[in-house]
Structure 1
Amino acid sequence: MATPSGDEKLDLERVRAEEELKPFEEQLFNILHDLLQPGPIIEAADAAAEINDLFPLNEDDPEAPVDESDPAADPDAFLWSLWGLIIQVMRLVPPQHPGQIRMISFLQALGKIPTRTLDIWGSEQNLWTDFPILRPCLRDHLEYIGEPDPDGISEWINQNSFMARIVGQELLSWDTLIIWMLRDALEDDLPQEQIARDCYISVVSEWITHAGQTIYRQLSDKELSEQQKRVTRGGKLYHGKAGLCAERWEFWKQRVGEISTLVSAELQPIALDAAQRMSEIEELARIAEEMRG
């Protein structure tokens, strides 16, 4: 599978072809398509304004009844479709393509639009600053590559690059997502297939590159509930504390170094850079702590 690099035109039509898009979803897709293409055709702030204008909320009469049979008029359904489309198109945007940066700029622009309070699944959330429903939608789209086919692996790396940027830019705080992604890659035996091994280290590299500092700031030895311990338990090779803690970070750093000898030659520098980056993040944090003291 040829992967676009630089500012090449992205073939996103596959999303439209694979999904039966409703009319309002066609509008959403067209905005996202133009946002990510070379140019871009539409700037992030303008794309955010257009999406906001399409949102089915009558500001003049917020108590007006919503036709829940019409997804274009239902805020929950609208948000689920929007986030789902974003995830699907971002699976087709390689880490090195400017479309990754443009999408983060778009989300940041959404977050700057004057907030409105919504009742989302029984809780009050702010549109757009809380990015309501994004977390469950992402969880619903955590479809691991499964069989080591090149297309599936490329899409998984692309999606992880996008998720890492969301976390790194602190648009969404989600310790368990970090743990799930790095646990899969670093806390179990490596698969036999070289292509899958390379995928694991590529995923780790995206997380450390785009979210490493944020992850390190969030390390904590706080006491966890039994449910939190179950959800963030270690993989086969990690026997330390559950949760996002310093012990786990240290294990991940050591494991990245070990894996660097087991991936293909072209991926070895990426693995070593990830391990070096983790050490640099620790050093920067130490210096910052000394300066505060």
Structure 2
Amino acid sequence: MAEQNLESAKDAMETTKIKENANSTNENLSNDSEHTTTEPISASMTKPTTEPARAPTVEPETNVELMKVTIEPTSIVEIDSAFKERMERMFKPTPPIPNGEVATQEPPGIAPRTETSTESTTESLNTSTSITSLVQTLPKKAASLATAKTKSHPATQIPPEIIITSCPEPPTETPKVEITARPTAEPHSNPSRTENILSRLELIEPDEISEQELAALDAFAHGMSPATSGAAAEAARMLDKLCPAPSQTEEVNNWLYTTWMVMIDVAASADASEEIRERLICILENLAQCAKGNVKVWGKERRLWRDLPVLPISFEPYFSADPTMAWEAKEVTPESSQNWRHISSFAARLMGAGLAGAYDQAMYALKAALEEEPSTKPGFAECRMLVACSWIKHAGVALLRWALKNPDHADVPRDSTPVYLRGGSLYHGPSTVCLRRWSFWIERLEKLGKEESVIGEEARKAALEAVEIMREVEKRIGNTL
């Protein structure tokens, strides 16, 4: 019994010593923590050239190395020694980036930097790589601090010419950032759209054309190839579908004006062939057979499509581009001559097909070439002769029918005669389109076609061909002098 009491006393004494040692250890730990000065991460991150303050480590009996890191004055998080080394590497000052160089690895949302020294080092601590590492390791309190730190430095806006791509999920290593230049989009580029053969023409500018103009151009191009009546009819249906409803007066007038301007640009281009103008006439002939309703043009009712509303108005800017009538013009260039001849040829085709009647323009052309003395300015006489012959070639029947409506003795008073009907200095007949005037044109064409000293070979050949056409038209109609 005494031995048992002795053993109990020994156990009690050892227990007391253990408690005293434990209390002493706790007091030492407490004193150390009171005298330890810690610094928040947010403060240490602003020091660019010095190591951040770290709490001293304590080695308890468990031999587990601990470090105290203060996230906020009221919150301390203990992490293992491996994370301590990671933090030291993370907050090690980044070498400055030389002027003129761009960082090879930038996180999404941060524009490349070129600052140096203190500013470069400070900004390098704000990269998303460091923030991502903190978020993966620290508790939620530290994650919220990292988020707030990122928001305090908003990213510079990225120029539209730069695309920055990276991994969607935060990787364990620094993400590789790929910077590629954004390709410059071609105006109205559409991979599904087939190439428009008309877009290559001289007066068509693909870079400046609108979507509405491009749609109309596609419709006209659809009727070009194959050169069949079916293709022309399909192109006409496409235009009819594109046109706004007749009840939308302003919209339909604007659409018609724009569409006709596109068509005339195609026809007037210097590199446009006769086949292109012929195909345009076929499309309009099919379009004129469609019935969409009536539309008001300047307060007057016009049939859509039989009257081809707004087309005469659309031609006016082109008819004023006669290079031989330009103020103080000294010569005619081949390009301007070609454009003017193509405009006149297309208008003559419209007149011959009964789609539009630019009779005034026909008279201006015939009077300038046949009723006046040939101009001595380079290219003037040739250009005028070729244009006049084009009107006779494509609208000869319409001109003769017009002449047959007026008897030879119909001498209209000059004062009441429209300007375009007044005769030139060489014509002394009635100021109207009549058979007498028709015959005068034939005589002048024969004379000018045979005189080598007046106009060039091409114009002379065209004049003689026009004479044959006029006489053939007389036979066809069967009512001549």
Return the TM-score normalized by structure 1. Answer: 0.80
Matching residue's letter, 1:55:
C
- Cα displacement (A) at 1:15: 2.7
For these two proteins, the number of residue pairs brought into alignment is: 269
Matched, 1:199 2:383: yes
- Cα displacement (A) at 1:149: 0.3
Q: 1:248 to 1:126 in 2, by over 3 A?
A: same
Equivalent in the alignment of 1:53: 241
- Cα displacement (A) at 1:246: 1.7
- After TM superposition, list the pairs within 5 Å mapping 1:8-157 onto structure 2: 12-17=200-205, 20-36=208-224, 39=226, 43-57=231-245, 62=247, 68=250, 74-92=251-269, 97-142=274-319, 143-146=321-324, 147-157=331-341
Question: 448, 460, 463: which one pairs with 1:268?
Answer: 460
Distance 2:396 2:272 in 1: 16
Question: 160, 165, 172: which one pairs with 2:349?
Answer: 165
- Cα displacement (A) at 1:96: 5.9
Distance 1:20 1:265 in 2: 39
- After TM superposition, list the pairs within 5 Å mapping 1:235-254 onto structure 2: 235-254=424-443
Equivalent in the alignment of 1:187: 371
Equivalent in the alignment of 2:180: none
- Cα displacement (A) at 1:12: 3.9
Distance 1:116 1:266 in 2: 46
Q: Which runs of 5+ in 2 are unaligned?
A: 1-196, 325-330
Distance 1:13 1:167 in 2: 24
Matched, 1:233 2:422: yes
Matched, 1:281 2:473: yes
Distance 1:30 1:14 in 2: 16
Contact 2:201–2:271 (8 Å) recurs in 1: no
Distance 1:171 1:269 in 2: 29
User: % of aligned pairs identical?
Assistant: 25
Distance 2:272 2:242 in 1: 29
Contact 2:257–2:314 (8 Å) recurs in 1: yes
- Cα displacement (A) at 1:84: 1.4
Distance 1:264 1:217 in 2: 31
- Cα displacement (A) at 1:279: 2.3
Rg bigger for which structure?
2
Contact 1:94–1:100 (8 Å) recurs in 2: no
Which secondary structure state, in structure 1, belongs to the residue aligned with residue 203 of structure 2?
Answer: helix
Equivalent in the alignment of 1:3: none
Equivalent in the alignment of 1:255: 444
Instruction: Give a deviation string over 1:7-46, Cα, whole Å, max 9, x none.
Output: xx7664433328843321121123234434x545992111
Equivalent in the alignment of 1:71: none
- Cα displacement (A) at 1:229: 3.2
Q: Greater share of helix residues, 1 or 2?
A: 1
Return the TM-score normalized by structure 2. Answer: 0.51
Which secondary structure state, in structure 1, belongs to the residue aligned with residue 205 of structure 2?
Answer: helix
Q: 1:257 to 1:33 in 2, by over 3 A?
A: same
Greater length-normalized contact order (CA 8 Å, ≥ 6 residues apart):
1
